[in-house]
Chain A
C-alpha cells in the first residue's frame, strides 16, 4: 500500500455566479488553505468544465496530492465527473469528497456573510472527512447472457425474439397452455383493423421453433435468487401435478424481463349494469368472440336492432379504478364499425365519459365513427348509467338510463345488446411476481418503473426489467415498444460482458456478528443473506445500495458501511463545528 501523504487539494467552484453571488468563494479558498494538511486551495469559474478537471488532474500530479475536496454542487450532480478527474491523474477515485455549497448553501441563503461562513464550515467538514477516506476498488462480475422472460404474450414474445435473435438464450415462462396472451382473445385491432391472429401467429411459430428460446408452457416462476448478471430461477410446471410435488427446474440467467400483462375487470362488480343477470349484457371480450365467429346476435339468436356500448367499466371511477385503461375507447369505436358493417340496419349508441383518442390515427378513427352515425352519449363519471329490462311495449330488450351531459337531459337509450368495455387490471398473481423478483407495485398493483419518464422499463432491482401492460394499461404499439426497449437494455448489458459494482456497500465483520438476523429483515433490497453453517449474516455486495439501514440497525456494531464509516462521518461533523471567522471585504455589499 502506498504511503499516506495526506496532501489535500481544495477546489472551490464559482458555478458561474450560482455560488459566487452569495458565497465569497475566494474567502472560502483562502480559509481552506489554512486548514491542516491542505496543500493548495483554488477557485475556478466552472470546476466541472474540462479545463477545471484538467487543472485538478495536473495539480494532483505536480503537487503530489493524494486527497481532493471539491466545494461545488451536489455530489448527485458531479461526483462522477470529479471521480474521473482523480482517475485521470492516477489517484483512487474514492479519495474525493464534495462539499455542497450550491444546493445546500448559495441557493438557499440570502445573507452573504452567513452563507460564506457556512460554506467554510462545509469545506472544513469535507477536509476532515477526506483524511479518513480509504482507497476502495470497485468490483466487476460476469454477466450471464441467458435471460428469463416471464409471460408469453405479445410483450414477452417480442422481447424473447429480440434477445434470441441477437444470439442469447432465453427461457420463456407462460402460465397458460399456449402463447399469445390477451391478444389471442381479440379479433381485429383498432384503428387499422389488422387481424390480431395474424399479428400473433408468425411470432408464436418463431418463438416455439427458435433454437435460442426454451418455452415453458403451463409453468411459473417459483424462486429467483442471486443478483444482476447471476440470477438463479426456479421454474415449475403446473399441468396436472400439484405445485408442491412438481419438480422445479433451475436455470441460470443474467437478467429478467417481466411481461405478465393484465387481466380484464370483472364486470359483475358494477351492479348497475346487471352483468350476469341480464343475458344480453356482455363484456367486450365476449363480443370479440362473437365477432370472431362472424355473428353478432342476442342470446335468443336475434340480430340486435339497437346496440349500446358502455365505456369505462371499472375504470376512471373512485369505486373501482381511477385510472384510464387507454385501449377501450378505440376498441369501442372499432366495435361500432364492426357491428354497423355486419348489420347496417343496426343503431349503435356509444355511452362514454370522455373520448380519449390520443394515439396515432385515433382522432381520424373517431371521426370515421361519427361519420358512420354512431350516436355518442356522454355520462358523468360519478353518475353511472343504469341498465334495466324494457317494458313489453318497447321495441327493444333493455333501456339504459343515464344523465346525458352534453344535452343536460335525463335520457333512456334503447338497447338489445349492451357491450361493457371492461378495463384493465393488474393480474391477481402480480404481487407474487413482485415479491419473487423484488420489485414494487403501485396502489393499483402495476409494477413500478425506476423512473416513470427516463427509465420506463427498468426497476429498482438491477437486472429486472418490466414491459407491457404489467406496468400500466397500454395498447399494442406501446407494449411492443416497451418490450423492445427492455430487450435493448438487456442486450447492452450483455454486450458489455461484465458489470461494474460500486465499491460503496455494507460489510459484515463476521468476528463481531452474533447472528441475530435483525439486519436480514431490515434490508429493503434483500441484499443480506444468512449463512446457516457459520450462523453469520452476509451482505451480497452486488445487491447492496449502501442505504445504511443495516449499519444503524446492527446491535453489535458489526456492519460497516464502506465509504460511510463512523470515523469518516464523525470527522466530518467535527470539521463542520470548527469555528470560522469571516469579515466581509470593504466595498462588497
Chain B
C-alpha cells in the first residue's frame, strides 16, 4: 500500500522552527557525523526525508527525534545549510503537539502571541486569586505560622492541585507516545517481558543523560559543558519540584533554616540559576554553540519564565529570613504568578521532554532488543546490530 506524500506539510513544520529542511538533498553527512545514529535509528537523514515528504504518520510513530540531544555537529557539517539539528528540535516540538490531545501545545508552538497572552492571563488570574485569598484570611505582614498571608498548608494543597493537572496531561501524552511508537510504529508486537528487561534504562537516562555527554566531538574537553549545565538544571529542577510538592511546609517554615530540606534546595537553586543564566547568555550570543543559534519563541518563554521563578524564589527566601515580611509576601505572589503558568504549560511545552526523552531512550532500547530478537528468529547467524 502506497503512502501519500504531503507536499504542504513542510509549511506546517516551518512554524515549529524547521525553516531550512527543504534544503536537504540527502547526502547523509549528518548521520555520519552523529554520534548516536546507528543501523536501526538512522537520524537525522531519515527524519529529514520523512519531513520533506510530509510522511506525518511515519514521524509520529518514530522515536528518532528524541534520540537526538542537539549537539549541532550535523548542522555544522551540512553542506546545504539544511540545519538538521534544528530540524530534529522542530520535530520534537511537533511530536509534543501530537502527544498532546488538547491542541494547546500546537497553538503555543505556532503562535507566540497566544502563548504570551495565555501565560500573562494565568499569571494575573493567579495573582488576583492569591491576593484575595491572602487578604481574606491573613495579613501581608505575616509570612509564616499563625495568620500568614499565604499559609504553607494552603500552598501545599494549591501546589498539589496544579501539579496534579500537569501530571495528568503529561501522563496522557506519555501514553499516546507509547501507543504511537510501540504499538503503531512496530511491525510486530513487542514481547511484554522486554519492557521489564530494559526497565533500568529509564532511570539511567533520566538521571545521567549519558548520551548527551557522548555528544562532544572534542576529545580534549574534560567535560561536555552543555551536558553538565543541562544535567545540573534538570536535577535542580527535579529536586526543587519534589521539595515543593512534598516538603513545602518545612521549606516555608521559619525563621530558622531547616538544613535537611534547605541544603538540597540550595544545591538545586545553584543548578537552576547557573543553567538559566548559561542558556540565556548563549541564546543571546548565538556564536558558541550551534544548538543555541536559533531560538524559537517557546525556547525564550522557557528560560525567561524559569529565570523569573528562580530569582523571585531566591528573593522571597532572603526577604523572609531577613524579616522583611511584607515584601517577602509580595515577591512570593509574583513567584507563584510565574510558577503556576510554568507548571500548567509544562505538558504543552519543550519542558515535557523531561519525561518524553528518557521514555524514548527506554522505548528505543526495547525496540532495538525486539528487532535483534526478530532477526535472530529469522536467521540465528545474522550479524548483530550495534
Contacts and interface: CB of A to CB of B under 8 A. Distances in A.
Given A370-B23, A370-B80, A413-B5, 9 more contacts: A306-B7, A347-B7, A355-B25, A370-B22, A370-B25, A375-B52, A399-B2, A401-B2, A414-B7
B8 A347 contact: yes
A375 B53 contact: yes
Interface of A: 306, 347-349, 355, 367, 370-377, 399, 401, 404, 406-407, 409-414
A402 to B, nearest CB: 8
A304 to B, nearest CB: 12
B5 A349 contact: yes
B4 interface: yes
A414 B10 contact: no
A545 to B, nearest CB: 50
A355 B53 CA distance: 17
B53 A412 contact: no
B167 interface: no
A406 B2 contact: no
A414 to B, nearest CB: 7
Nearest to B23: A370
B2 A411 contact: yes
A367 B80 contact: yes
Interface string B1-36: 111110110110000000000111110000000000
B91 to A, nearest CB: 15
A371 B23 contact: yes
Given A406-B49, A407-B49, A412-B3, A375 B10 contact: yes
Interface of B: 1-5, 7-8, 10-11, 22-26, 46, 49-50, 52-55, 58, 80
A377 B2 contact: no
Contact of B10 (A373, A377, A412, A413): A373
B132 to A, nearest CB: 51
B7 A348 contact: yes
Contacts of A348: 7
Contacts of A372: 22
B23 A412 contact: no
Contacts of B52: 375-376
Given A370-B80, A404-B53, A406-B49, A376 B25 contact: yes
Contacts of B23: 367, 370-371
Closest 6 pairs (CB-CB, A-B) = A347-B7, A412-B2, A375-B7, A373-B22, A406-B26, A407-B49
A410 B5 CA distance: 10
Contacts of B24: 370
A349 B54 CA distance: 12
Contact of B11 (A373, A399, A411): A373
Contacts of B50: 407
Contacts of A404: 53
6 contacts: A349-B5, A349-B7, A373-B11, A375-B54, A406-B26, A407-B46
B322 to A, nearest CB: 58
Contacts of B22: 370-374
A183 B50 CA distance: 39
A404 B315 CA distance: 59
Contacts of B55: 407, 409
Contacts of A347: 7-8
B52 to A, nearest CB: 6
